[in-house]
């Protein structure tokens, strides 16, 4: 039996179970050159909310009636392809279902995991979020020794790695996150110099206090009021890295822009967005360096592992309520 969560309805505001339909169908059969994969781990990413909408983006919308798209790690259970054998662990962009048929090289990339690789690590610090932090910081943020780095969404999968890369490169690092517990994790475990709890503190005032030399790099995952507050404190020739804007992903009306964009002009600063898939051909290089930092203890990361097929739709919303502690994953089972 192949269990599936299909996209049933495009979202308006917060996503709920009503946006998905549960279906059971027979396990698909494979043809020539095809591979049958059993999904074991699902990655949850705020961008999935955007994929559900019917609008142009960097990937086409998920069609209604199709399994919800997700980053997955699975195990090959049957193969008619010379490069894959039963038992191989593979990573790809799949869907919310137990099994899927892959046609490697033709319709999809199916990347084999190296022997002994930890799937949770591959989907977190070495996966899309770690890669996003790496390339956003190094290619756009360009951290220099002694500079001040401010990160929003700082306790999350991307933000926590971005901040630590800044610390490794010699920056003073200040994180913005929701709640005392996340702020304590940033300063006590992740080596941030200071943290601002945006839920209980005045963000604008606290950035002023904690960044006395102003902000050279702002790595923004949140947008909205937090972006506006940060722009009030940018230094000459600052780099504002627009990684995401999660505060507006569930918005039901147009979002006001920051009222202080002129600060970019006055400070001769650069504000630039990016999408990590543009760096796909260099992921291996980043993975090597990220692995070395993890092994040396310079880089820590958290994985929030949920369980159970029935919990898949609700797990996506943990990213928007801030319940997740680090990279949000869900495990269906272990490799056979």
Ligand X SMILES: NC(=O)c1ccc[n+]([C@@H]2O[C@H](COP(=O)([O-])OP(=O)(O)OC[C@H]3O[C@@H](n4cnc5c(N)ncnc54)[C@H](OP(=O)(O)O)[C@@H]3O)[C@@H](O)[C@H]2O)c1
Q: Is 71 in the site for ligand X (CB under 6 A)?
A: no
277: tokens are: 């898939």
CB within 8 Å of 289: residues ≥ 6 apart = 134
Distance between CA 15 and CA 314 in Å, rounded?
9
Q: Is 127 in the site for ligand X (CB under 6 A)?
A: no
Instruction: Indicate which single residue of 121, 178, 192, 263 sits in contact with ligand X (rule: CB under 6 A).
Output: 178
Q: Is 159 in the site for ligand X (CB under 6 A)?
A: yes
Q: Footprint of ligand X on residues 135-154 (CB under 6 A)?
A: 153
Q: Footprint of ligand X on residues 271-290 (CB under 6 A)?
A: 274-276
Helix (H, G, I), strand (E, B) or coil at 244: coil
Instruction: Indicate which single residue of 94, 119, 244, 258 sits in contact with ligand X (rule: CB under 6 A).
Output: 244
Q: Which residues of 247-277 are buried (b: 16+ CB within 10 A; e: fewer)?
A: bebeeeeeeeebeeeebbeebebebeeeebe
Residue whose CB is less far from ligand X, 141 or 244: 244
CB within 8 Å of 85: residues ≥ 6 apart = 76, 79
**Looking at 156-228, which runs of residues are DSSP E strands?**
172-177, 194-197, 215-220
265: tokens are: 């002009």
Instruction: Indicate which single residue of 129, 164, 263, 269 sits in contact with ligand X (rule: CB under 6 A).
Output: 129
Q: Is 319 in the site for ligand X (CB under 6 A)?
A: yes
Q: Is 320 in the site for ligand X (CB under 6 A)?
A: yes
Binding-residue total with ligand X (CB under 6 A)? 29
137: tokens are: 């910081």
Minimum distance, C-beta of residue 251 to ligand X, in the bound complex (Å): 10
Residue whose CB is less far from ligand X, 22 or 274: 274
> What does the binding site for ligand X look like in residue numbers (CB under 6 A)?
45-47, 128-129, 132, 153, 155-159, 177-179, 182, 221-222, 243-244, 246-247, 274-276, 319-320, 322, 324
């Amino acid at each position: 039996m192949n269990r599936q969560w299909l996209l049933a309805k495009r979202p308006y505001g917060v996503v709920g179970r009503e946006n998905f339909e549960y279906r059971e169908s027979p396990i698909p059969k494979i043809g020539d050159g095809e591979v049958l994969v059993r999904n074991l781990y699902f990655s949850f990413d705020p961008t999935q909310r955007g994929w559900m909408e019917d609008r142009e983006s960097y990937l086409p919308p998920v069609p209604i009636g199709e399994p919800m798209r997700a980053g997955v790690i699975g195990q090959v259970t049957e193969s008619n392809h010379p490069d894959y054998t039963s038992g191989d662990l593979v990573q790809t962009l799949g869907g919310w279902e137990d099994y899927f048929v892959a046609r490697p090289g033709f319709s999809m990339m199916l990347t084999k995991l190296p022997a002994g690789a930890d799937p949770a690590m591959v989907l977190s610090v070495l996966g899309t979020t770690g890669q996003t932090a790496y390339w956003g910081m190094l290619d756009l943020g360009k951290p220099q020794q002694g500079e001040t780095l401010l990160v929003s969404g700082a306790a999350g999968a991307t933000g926590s790695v971005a901040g630590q890369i800044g610390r490794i490169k010699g920056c003073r690092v200040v994180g913005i996150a929701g709640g005392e517990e996340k702020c304590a994790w940033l300063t006590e475990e992740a080596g941030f110099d200071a943290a601002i709890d945006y839920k209980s503190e005045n963000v604008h005032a606290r950035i002023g206090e904690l960044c006395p030399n102003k902000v050279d790099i702002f790595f923004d995952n949140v947008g909205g009021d937090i972006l506006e507050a940060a722009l009030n404190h940018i230094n000459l020739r600052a780099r504002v890295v627009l990684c995401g804007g999660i505060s507006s992903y569930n918005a039901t009306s147009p979002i006001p822009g920051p009222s202080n964009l002129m600060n970019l002009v006055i400070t001769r600063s650069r504000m630039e967005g990016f999408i990590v898939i543009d760096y796909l051909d260099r992921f291996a290089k980043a993975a090597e360096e990220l692995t070395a930092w993890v092994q040396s203890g310079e880089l820590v990361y958290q994985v929030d592992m949920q369980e159970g097929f029935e919990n898949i739709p609700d797990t996506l919303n943990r990213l928007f309520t801030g319940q997740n502690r680090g990279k949000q994953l869900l495990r269906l089972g272990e490799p056979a």
